[in-house]
Amino acid sequence: MTAASRLQDALATKTQVWGGWVVAPTVLGPEEFAGIGYDYLGFDVQHGYLGDADVALMLRRLEHLPLATVVRLPTPDPAPIGRVLDAGADGVVVAMVECAAQAAAAVAAARYAPAGVRSFGPLRTSMGTDPAALQARVSVFAMVETTRGLAAIDEICAVDGLGGVYVGPADLAISMGHGPADAWTRRDVRDAMVRIHHTVTSAGLVSGIHAGTGTLGHAAAELGFQMITLASESQALRRGATAHLAEARGAPITAPGVQGRY
């Protein structure tokens, strides 16, 4: 029997799984997220200051922490997807997916021949060398964040091997003619997010979303999303630093006005 990944285990046993986000090389950040009780950590190779080599090094350091891992990449290019999976990532989130062909390319990049185009080369001995096991532990998420992706959501969800769909509210709002900060306040954008969620879950897939704050994470959970990313390490640092400075000055503690950007 093939062992599931930590991400697959969490998704199979919890109503919601909560994620942190990393946008720059860090050692302490992942440990703090794990110690607080987050379920997974996302590494941002699309918008962050990270390359897949940076991610590979951090994934090695996380091997013994009770934390699942996903990596967001800007395209379904098989080379960087293969490298982060070889380094032990539990899943990949491929950004700006707008059609079934792009989703299928992302899945193919995570699968070995004859089902895909992934090249064999695991980097961690603890993962073993069985191609079937290495392939089965990987979850692939298509990031739907445009009106084109919304229009193609049924076809995207029908792609064989796709694990789920991850919503990007900011870009979705922009594509609908609004500002990124309006994603959670505009009725049409929320309706679009709900439509994606229902289509995804009806297809038996995992619905995920980038909330960006705890408050928005709570709202996402109420809408039914299961995989919900909260603050990045920079946002968490800013919020904690603001509170400490306010305490030192004897001023009221107020959270900084940081919206979920991605």
Catalytically annotated residues: 47
Q: At 144, phi and psi to the nearest 5?
A: -100, 120
Residues 6+ apart with CB under 8 A from 215: none
Per DSSP, what are the bridge partners of residue 42? 21, 70
- Residue 92 to residue 131: CA distance in whole angstroms: 18
Residue 153: alpha-carbon gap to chain centroid: 18
Q: Of the candidates 67, 15, 38, 4, which has an alpha carbon nearest to the alpha carbon of residue 201? A: 15
Residue given tokens 């500002």 in the structure block: 179
State how beta strands 68-73 and 227-232 pair: unpaired
Nearest one of 103, 94, 91 to 75, comparing CA atoms: 94
Structure tokens at 69: 């891992």
